[in-house]
Amino acid sequence: MSTSDLRYPAASGGDSSIPPVVTPHYGSSLPNPPSDVSQGRPTRCATGVRFLTTIHGILNIVIIIALVCVIISAGVVSSDEARAADDSGAETSAKVSAFHTRNAVLVFSIFGLIAILFDTIIHVTKLVHRLPAIFDKIFIIVMLVLAVIYFILGCCAAAWEKKMRDKLEQFDLLSHKGAAASAAFFLFVAMIATTVDFVLRLLNRSSSQSYNP
């Protein structure tokens, strides 16, 4: 009984000198194609341009606008004016330092603005797929801590406004009335938006709820 390989059929009815047609055979599958960013790990938010249409993208935009308004509001009050409020001997029930409150509001607002812009960019460009999964949880925790700081700074900014009015308004030295109060308002807006945004991300833990483009 013939045991010839079926992949090499003998020529029939023709010139036996013509070599048989050899069908290539591969013992293994083709190599995997290069990895693509879009095929990376699942994320807690949608990625690509559609991120901007989700609740997280919308809240990110709200946070960005609120923090820009905080920076503008706190920035229009000069450090000299804040020091003058601290050095004035007029009576006030506000015990915060106007100078240090102003600086703290600016520093944490700028930090938060950079962080939320970074978050928006890596989701829109899908670079978040290149980052380890632990990055999501660490970033969420950082932003929730920042939300608590915004709440504290909002309360301090409200007291800062009262101190400026009590100590400078009576001497006509208050050049930007309501600036600190405006900063306090937008800090509370940023705090609420940040809390909602990142609590929702924290709750979105199961793979069935995660997004993968």
DSSP at 77: S
> Which pTM does this prediction carry?
0.76
Report how far residue 180's alpha carbon sits from residue 136's, in angstroms, rounded to the nearest whole number. 33
pLDDT band at 186 (very low <50, low <70, confident <90, very high): very high
Residues forming a β-bridge with 211: 43
Could you tell me how far CA 63 lies from the centroid of its own chain? 10
CB-based contacts of 94, cutoff 8 Å, min separation 6: 159, 160, 162, 163, 166
Query: Per residue in 49-68, pLDDT tens?
Result: 999 999 999 999 999 999 99
pLDDT at 189 over 60: yes
| 157 vs 3: which has the higher pLDDT | 157
| Separation between Cα atoms, residue 49 and residue 73, nearest integer Å | 31
CA 56 to chain centre: 9
At 133-184, the pLDDT tens digits run 899 999 999 999 999 999 999 999 999 888 888 777 666 666 778 899 999 9
Name the residue ranges covered by the structural domains of the chain: 49-206
Q: Residue 31 pLDDT > 60, yes or no?
A: no
